[in-house]
Structures are given as C-alpha cells and as structure tokens.
Amino acid sequence: MLNPETKVWLNGEIIAADEARLSHLTHTFHYGLGAFEGIRSYEVRPGVGGVFRLQEHIDRLFASCHLVTITAEDIGATREQIMAACVDTLRVNGLTDGYIRPVIYLGEGAMGIGALTNPTHTMVAAWKWGAYLGEEGLTKGIDACISSYNRPGHSGTLSKGKLAGQYINSILAKREALSNGFHEAILLNEEGLVTEASGENLFIVKDGQVITPPLGLNILAGITRATVMQLATELGIAVVERTFARDELYLADEVFMTGTAAEVTPVRSVDRRRIGQGSRGPITEKLQSLYFDVVQGRSAPHSDWLTPFDV
C-alpha cells in the first residue's frame, strides 16, 4: 500500500510517509480514541479526479470528534483546510482514483485514560484501493453470515461516530466471517434486529420496495446509504426505513450492502441461504449502475457531489 514515494499530510504539511512516524506512547494507539473517515475519489476524465461527497465526509469527521469531545479548536484545522488536505494528498501521490483516510488522534502526553491535555493530530493518507469486497463480488454477489458478535448497544457506544476503537467489534465480526468462509458479517443488535455489516450499511429488497434499518438503530449514518436512498427515490423505487430481523433478511428478494469502500455490493447468500436467485438482483443492479455513473462523473444532475481536481 505504502511505497518509499508515498506522502501523507500531517498537521498541515505534506511529508514522506516514512518520516511520519508515531511515538509508541501515542494515546490513541493504546486506547483507540480517534476519529477517521474513508472517502473515495474516482477518475472522472483522463488526469482528472473527483472526490465523492467530500463535504459530507468532513462534516461527519467533525461530528465524530464532537461526539468524543475533541473540539474544532483541538483539531486546529478548519473543515476547508482538511478538505484541501484530502485533495492535496491525492495529488502528491499522483492518484485520480484513490481512497482517502483522514485520521484525527490524540498524541503523546498523559498516559492515563482521560488524556484531557494531550495534543490532537490530524493525518491524511491516500492509496489506490480496488473493490473492497472483490471485483467478482460486485457482479456475482457475496456470501454473508450473521455474526455471533452483536453491535454494541446505545448506552455504551456512540455508533454515529466513525471512531477508531469502536472498530474492534467490526474486526472481530469480520475475522469470524472470513475464517468461516464468508465474505462479510452482518451484525444484529441486542434485540435481534438487523443493524449493518462490519463496514457497510445493509438493504433488503422485497416486493419492489427497498428497505433499510432506520438511523435510530445503532448504525453508522452511511453517506453511501443516503446516496443510494436518494438515487432509488429518483428512479421511482419506494424506500422504507424500518427495522427487521434475520427472517426478513433470509426471505428477501435481494440484499445489498453500501459503503464508500464496498460501493454497492450485492449479497447472494446469508448463512448459506440463497437470496433470490443467488445472484445480483435487478433492483440492486439498477442502483449499482446508477451509483457508478454518479461517482465516476457520468451523471450531470449529480455532478455537484464531486469535487474535481487535476493531477
């Protein structure tokens, strides 16, 4: 992923990734209090990239920080500066098509849990990342399972934050799924309601309706989720936000997952039960195809979702 020429943006400066070393006493490294984002840019024309919904991602980054009491003052850079940092990091790494990872973390200082005075750092890295759940997954669909790990409840976590330490739950679910021969894990909440996957939001299609768990559940408010809901509505497909349990998942006509990394990925089986025809369903295909048109700059009505830049 990183090579000797890779550069990152660290606290306002572009430097060689090799020089951007962390102290082993970095607070976030020990305890996980940090916020991050995952953003994609696509080549929209030769030599021209477009960052997809950059403003929304940076707004969510600041919201994640707010949730864990890292203030805008602590961050020390404005939203506009971090947005510019994302574009600059792509440029210096020669990427039109790339995955961008801003991280805000607590540095060296007090080693106690509270860390009220540790400095806050901001880093932005970027790299080339293909289809997160595999090229074949995009066309043929993936095999998912219900995880034995539940999504942690509202009283103990802040699931609307994209927070580093919270991903331990996702990592455990994903590792369990992979080691059992599945591509991805779907997590239930404590009441057995379907929430989301380890790094994606989840949709089912039933009788022509697109259904997804509501934001009142402990799920991340995915930017791809919101995008796909809007695109479905524009296509005249009914979109419903409501809770459902695993039985509706097994009985769905189609299931798909959304995420910046995973884009729109069909699910062909859940817990070894075939979903629909066991392949990408027609509504999933329609939404996926429109999604790629939008992110790759082929849809004029959605061009304001892209921040263009040349390399």
In the set 32, 38, 107, 134, which binds ligand PLP (CB under 6 A)? 38
Give me the least distance between CB of 194 and ligand PLP, in Å please. Answer: 13
CA distance 196 to 160: 12
Which strand (E) or helix (H) includes residue 204?
strand 201-206
- Residue 220 binds to ligand PLP (criterion: CB under 6 A): yes
Distance CA 132, CA 154 (A): 28
Among 64, 218, 260, 288, the residue binding ligand PLP under the rule CB under 6 A is 260
In angstroms, rounded to a whole number, what is the distance separating the alpha carbons of residues 279 and 277?
5
> Which member of 141, 152, 199, 213 binds ligand PLP (CB under 6 A)?
199
Minimum CB separation of residue 272 from ligand PLP in Å reads: 24
Retrieve residue 9's tokens.
């943006």
Is residue 115 part of the contact set for ligand PLP (CB under 6 A)?
no
In angstroms, the Cα distances linking 236 to 37, 210, 252 are 31, 11, 20
Q: Which segment (22-30, 96-104, 141-149, 256-264) binds ligand PLP by CB under 6 A?
A: 256-264
In terms of CB distance, is 11 or 299 closer to ligand PLP? Answer: 299
- For 137, phi then psi, to 5°, come to -60, -35
Decide if residue 222 touches ligand PLP (CB under 6 A): yes
Site pattern 130..169 for ligand PLP (x: CB under 6 A): --------------------------------x-------
> In this complex, which beta carbon is closest to ligand PLP, that of residue 123 or of residue 220?
220
Instruction: Report if residue 32 touches ligand PLP, rule: CB under 6 A.
Output: no
Residue 33 contacts ligand PLP per CB under 6 A: no
- Residue 162 falls in the annotated catalytic set: yes
| Cα 72 from chain centre | 22
CB of 200 to ligand PLP, least distance (A): 5
Residue 61, classed as helix, strand or coil, is helix
Site stretch for ligand PLP (CB under 6 A), options 21-29, 105-113, 215-223, 243-251: 215-223
Contact 145, 271 (CB under 8 A): yes
Identity of the residue, 37 or 115, whose beta carbon is nearer to ligand PLP in the bound complex: 37
225: contact with ligand PLP by CB under 6 A: yes
Q: Can you tell me which of 17, 142, 145, 223 binds ligand PLP, judged by CB under 6 A?
A: 223
Size of the site for ligand PLP (CB under 6 A): 15
The pair of structure tokens assigned to 175 is 């590792």
Catalytic residue among 7, 162, 174, 286: 162
* Pairing of β 142-146 and β 184-188: parallel
224 vs 305: CA distance, rounded Å? 12
Lookup: tokens for 157: 């976590």
Helices of type H across 20-107: 27-31, 54-67, 72-75, 79-92
Contact window for ligand PLP (CB under 6 A) among 104-112, 198-206, 275-283, 288-296? 198-206
Residue 51's nearest CA partner among 299, 298, 297 is: 297
Q: Could you tell me which of 137, 86, 162, 103 has the C-alpha nearest to residue 268? A: 137
Judged on CB neighbours under 10 Å (0-12, 13-18, 19+), 311 is middle
259 binds ligand PLP (CB under 6 A): yes
Between CA 64 and CA 240 the distance in angstroms is 26
Q: In the bound complex, what is the minimum distance in angstroms from residue 121's beta carbon to ligand PLP?
A: 21
Positions annotated as catalytic residues are 162
The footprint of ligand PLP (CB under 6 A) covers: 38, 162, 170, 196, 199-201, 220, 222-225, 258-260
